[in-house]
Chain A
Amino acid sequence: MMDLYQSQRTMRSMRRAAMQRGVIAILDVGTFKISCLVLRFDGPDDAMEREGVGPMAGQSTFRVIGAATTRSRGVRFGEIAAMPETERAVRTAVQAAQKMANVRVDHVIACFSGARPRSYGLAGEWQLRERIVTENDVANVLANCDLPDLGDNREVIHAQPVNFAIDHRTGLSDPRGQAGNRLACDMHLLSVDALAVQTLLNCINRCDLEVAGIASSAYVSGISTLVEDEQELGAACVDMGGGATGLSIFMKKHMIYADSVRLGGDHVSIDISKGLEIPLATAEKIKTLHGGVQATGVDDRDMIEIGSDSGDWDKDRRQVSRAELIGIMRPRVEEILEEVRARLDAAGFDHLPSQQIVLTGGGSQIPGLDGLAAKILGQRVRLGRPLRVQGLPQAATGPAFSSAVGLCLFAAHPQDEWWDFEVPADRYPARSLKRAVKWFKDNW
């Protein structure tokens, strides 16, 4: 537990160092594509010091100076399956982004969609001694949260205090400076598969890069796609990626639940490939150009050349109607959405006051998806695109880049996490204190 706390703290200090240097790269390791953006931070912008909300909602402290996207290799279900392949893909993306930015980046903040995230709600209590809440009290109440059994090989990736309560007043976002007898806190904890994360970190380290932070892609795409009132009132963000579909629920500007379905756009492509007996690349192309989920009468007459280069004339001149293609795609998309519905129900999304659902990610670009999603997920469904950040190329503004853009925002203004607070002094292992005493004795 301490290990993770320390490694997360190391990442935070790395992030601060990168901020000081002014250049940081963000890396979205997806199943279908790997994108790398290079950000330049210009220090505290004067827009930040002005009254009210500045341009770009205060996000103009950074600027994207390099962007590159490459086809992902060796990644399945958002987890690295073949590290050398993934390493090559990361190198391709980072090199192209560095070339565009014309600077060398050493620090990377990464996100990934897989690794089976699991959400926990934690609660902690702390008796105040001074009656006034100090930073130390906050650290103590966070440390006092009872940690559930995460299981073998699980690591905490996000541990964010969501809500503070002093005595009987709840819903405080920042309790410091307030008076009371008892401080209570709700924390949202997201655990992931430790080995998958370790593999990703190793992969990035093998590219001579330092990891300055790591995030779940479901969380960061929620940051970039949900507008402010949706984050405040409660909404779910469904990030339909290539190999995994992430979903995150936001309330009062905090993520309160995240999960991922190990199904995505790649499964649709595989279905098409199998159903039409065509190569996966052709299936992907046909899906992108002609895909859909709502068949109409005209689709029966809309014939698509599916081609092939087998040398057999009959096989190479095959045609399918668009209705057939939709017939293959729709059940799979429905399955994904049903799965998402099940996860949302399990999380108790029904009980939230707002039932807004935002679909984003590359998979959300299937025509007619919003109609289908409305039937399965509920009436209040919209398609989301990421926030527009300064300097982002036009090609990277689509919904497929919502987690990359969200990661930019995450890099610029990370949410306070558990490890941002000093560990309470009495929680330090006695061994280290003894070691310090010994050091003093040896040296003085």
Chain B
Amino acid sequence: MQPMTVHRRDPAPSRFSYRMQRLWLTPTFRFLVRRGLPVLFVLLVLAVVFGSAARRQALLAQYNAVRTQIEHRPEFMLSMLSIEGASPTLADAVRKMLDIPFPVSSFDLDLKKLRAQIEALDAVASANVAVGPDGVLQVTITERQPVAVWRTADGLTLVDGTGHRVASLTKRDARADLPLVVGLGADQAIPQAMALLAAAGPIAPRVRALVRVGERRWDMVLDRHQRVLLPEADPVAALERVIALDQARHLFDRDILSVDMRLPDRPAVQLSPAAFAARQKALGLEAKTGAAKK
């Protein structure tokens, strides 16, 4: 019988496994295998998947379908428009202008654009558009408040405190409560006009209109065709002087046509022709001149 030879496994690593282990212990190699290979694999898979146009299209279509489905869930649908803070006419105008085809998904509406659209209306000072509960599109409007009627060659216009157009007016009588301003560039100086009217005080009931002259200064027109010519600079003080004069000397009760305050140190009063003649007569000067200044 042959002696049994025991084949014991060689405990030494083979040259290949020894080199592999050393390679594996190399930090760069290790990093490449552990991080680089997975990243490369993922990139490869993505490249293969998205390489074909048809697959890309299908995926995009699927994405869009899911998106539409979510957007049209009842939670996101709007069914009515509610406008607050606007007069019925303005509300109607806004409704007509926006013309939203309800029901509509709130994702399809561009609220910022809607708001800009509403604020573009003359009658609207500011607007707020929000998606409220229960499918209501909430529009809150602050209207412009007209403070004066502006007459131009084209017709009558309502303007607000900043001079911005609010609406057109067909008849002056429709807004008899508002003062009238006339002249080119009057809308640019509405705040000054308001200050003048506020300063008019005792003669306020007699003021018929404020006339902008040469886009630079105001004339105040009173009834009985009387007129106060105000300077460009500091008209309120000039007006106050005139009013003080009227209260002290009953200026406007006299037969005069206009008070000229344009030169602050040289106020002038124009008499009516009849008054002038009477004055000439009283002074004994029967000259035939048309008008003279005091």
Contacts and interface: CB of A to CB of B under 8 A. Distances in A.
Interface stretch (B16-24, B63-71, B249-257): B16-24
Interface string B11-35: 1110100110110011000000000
B13 A95 contact: yes
A91 B18 contact: yes
A70 B11 contact: yes
Interface residues of A, number: 14
Contact of A95 (B10, B21, B26): B21
A208 B25 contact: no
Nearest to A85: B12
B13 A92 contact: yes
A208 B16 CA distance: 12
Interface in A100-117: 102-104
B12 A91 contact: yes
Question: Chain B, interface size: which category?
Answer: 10 to 19
A332 interface: no
Given A91-B15, A92-B13, A99 B22 contact: no
Contacts of A70: 11
A103 B13 CA distance: 17
A208 B21 contact: no
Contact of B25 (A89, A98, A207): A98
Nearest to A106: B22
Interface string A182-219: 00000000000000000000000001100000000000
B18 A207 contact: yes
A103 B21 CA distance: 10
Contacts of A88: 10, 12
Interface string A65-104: 0000010000000000000000011011011001100111
Nearest to A70: B11
Interface of A (DSSP majority class)? helix
Given A95-B18, A208-B19, A103 B12 contact: no
Interface in A156-171: none
B26 to A, nearest CB: 5
A88 B13 CA distance: 7
Interface in A381-398: none
Nearest to A98: B25
A101 to B, nearest CB: 9
Nearest to B10: A88
A92 B11 contact: yes
B15 to A, nearest CB: 7
Contacts of B26: 104
Interface in A373-417: none
A208 B22 contact: yes
Given A207-B18, A208-B19, A91 B13 contact: yes
Contacts of A103: 25
A98 B22 CA distance: 8
B250 to A, nearest CB: 106
Q: In this complex, which of B10, B11, B26 has the most chain A Cβ atoms within 10 angstroms of its Cβ? A: B11
Contacts of A99: 21
Nearest to A209: B22
Contacts of B12: 88-89, 91-92
Nearest to A99: B21
Contacts of A98: 21-22, 25
Nearest to B17: A95
Nearest to B29: A104
B27 to A, nearest CB: 8
Nearest to A95: B13
A43 B77 CA distance: 70
A294 B113 CA distance: 108
B17 to A, nearest CB: 8
Interface of B: 10-13, 15, 18-19, 21-22, 25-26
17 contacts: A70-B11, A88-B10, A88-B12, A91-B12, A91-B13, A91-B15, A91-B18, A92-B13, A95-B18, A95-B21, A98-B21, A102-B25, A103-B25, A104-B26, A207-B18, A208-B19, A208-B22
